[in-house]
A = this chain, B = another copy of it.
Amino acid sequence: MSSNMFDIIKADLADLELALQAAVKSPVDTITEIGNHLIKSGGKRLRPALYFLAAHCGQNYNRDRVMPLAVALELIHMASLVHDDVLDSATTRRGSETANAKWGNQLAILAGDYLFAKAFALVAEHNYGSRVELQLSRLLTDLSAGELIQNKEIYKASCDTEEYFERIAMKTANFLAISCQLGGDVAGLSEPEIQALYDYGYSVGMAFQLTDDLLDLTGDTKTIGKPAGNDILQGIITLPAIRALEVSPDRAELLDIVTNRNMTADMLGRALDLVKATDGIEFTKAKVDEYLTRAKEVLPASIPSEITSSYHMAADFIGGRNF
């Protein structure tokens, strides 16, 4: 996350890196190597950050107690990215070589499985209780199911607005929501507070995925590390394109392109132009704003003000990403 936005959790995030390294250390060298490569390739550590903030809401914050679950959240995220990169045959992520590019699909799939299992092992070892374990396992069933729906529907443009929101809720918003909720759980907050933290995480999660999908259409290699339109090229249809397929005067042409498995760069360029000629981008930005507004309204006065303001800054950060 950006500098001094999260002073409260700076030490937590620093320790997290060491705890992640300890978690991937294995007598099997290749596991340690792949794990360390993934850790070094970076990432925003958004899920642990949201979790740490919630955990600070309680009294007697105990970092040793809080840390293993933060590690578990990030390991599940890392493992799902490793499998994602296999699915997409991606060769780079955040400027680093992907695990599948470096070690091959077979080791990447198995390393992902190992990291999932390690996450559950950590949580079991530290006796967080079945409520926490249930949240964590449901997070992963939802995440896999969301990804599965997305992959099943590629090049079909069959997704409507409602299905789109359901899909991004399963694969992203739910994960961020549960990260916040688990922090509240560990902190021993009241049920209404925990529910509010969940709602906050859900709302910023929706905004986060919507901006990701916007950036994919409007960014370029310099800003997002890949050419614009990567989702469309891979047959994944997101909100701006769904909107365009509803309102564009050229929707038949757009539909032909986005359902074509042999899409050329020219066809993709034309599809991007067609989407941008509609209100698809603005429509999506308005949804981002709705979710961010909701995220900022939902936290009750009983949450310490410095935590609430950090959460508001996180929402602003997500809203301020370039698109």
Q: In the complex the two chains form, is B83's CB within 8 Å of A110's CB?
A: yes
Q: Count the copies.
A: 2
- In the complex, A140 Cα to B110 Cα: how many Å? 10
Complex contact B141–A133 (CB within 8 A): no
Contacts of A136 in B (CB 8 A): 120, 124
Asked, given contacts A83-B113, A109-B87, A151-B107, whether A26 binds B130 with beta carbons under 8 Å apart, the answer is no
Q: Assess whether B114 is in contact with A151, with CB atoms less than 8 Å apart.
A: no
Chain B residues lying within 8 Å of A86, measured Cβ to Cβ, are 105, 109
Contact between A110 and B148, CB atoms less than 8 A apart: yes
Q: Which of A68-124 contact B (CB under 8 A)?
A: 80, 83, 86-87, 105-107, 109-114, 116-118, 120-121, 123-124
Residues of B within 8 A of A106 (CB): 87, 151
B30, B117, B138, B151: the one contacting A137 at CB < 8 Å is B117
Minimum distance in angstroms from A51 CB to a CB of chain B = 18
Residue of B nearest to A86 (CB): B109
Complex Cα spacing A215 to B143, Å: 39
- Let me know if B125 and A109 touch, CB within 8 A: no
Report yes or no: A134 in contact with B125, Cβ–Cβ below 8 A.
yes
> Is A141 a contact partner of B124 (Cβ separation < 8 A)?
no
Which residues of B lie under 8 Å from residue A149 when comparing CB positions? 28, 30
Cβ contacts under 8 Å, A31 to chain B: 145, 148
Report the minimum CB–CB distance from A165 to chain B (whole Å). Answer: 15
Residues of B within 8 A of A147 (CB): 110, 113
Some 8 contacts from A to B, beta carbons below 8 A apart, are: A30-B152, A31-B145, A83-B110, A110-B148, A116-B117, A117-B137, A121-B134, A123-B133
Q: Which of B118, B141, B152 contacts A114 (CB 8 A)?
A: B141
In the complex formed, the residue of B with least CB distance to A138 is B121
Question: A127 in the interface, Cβ–Cβ < 8 Å?
Answer: yes
A121 and B141 in contact, given A109-B109, A116-B113 (Cβ under 8 angstroms) = yes
Of B30, B110, B116, B123, which contacts A87 at CB under 8 A? Answer: B110
* Interface pair A140/B113, CB less than 8 Å apart: yes
Is there contact, CB below 8 Å, between A117 and B130?
no
Most chain B CB within a 10 A radius of its CB, from A26, A86, A121, A127: A121
Residues of chain B lying within 8 A (CB to CB) of residue A144 = 110-111, 113-114, 117
- The answer to whether A145 and B109 have CB atoms under 8 Å apart is no
In the complex the two chains form, what is the Cα distance from A111 to B117 in whole Å?
16
- What is the CB-to-nearest-CB distance from A5 to chain B, in angstroms, rounded to a whole number? 31
Contact A121:B137 (CB < 8 A) given known A87-B109, A110-B83, A152-B107: yes
Q: How far is the CB of A231 from chain B (nearest CB, A)?
A: 15
Q: Which residue of B lies closest to A127 (CB)?
A: B130
- Given contacts A26-B145, A141-B121, whether A151 and B110 have CB atoms under 8 Å apart is yes
Residues of B within 8 A of A134 (CB): 121, 124-125
* CB–CB A28/B145 < 8 A: yes
A129-167 toward B: CB 8 Å interface, digit per residue (1/0)? 010011011101101110111011000000000000000
Check B116 against A116 for contact (C-beta < 8 Å).
yes
CA distance A124 to B110 in the complex (A): 24
| Chain B nearest Cβ from A23, distance in angstroms | 11
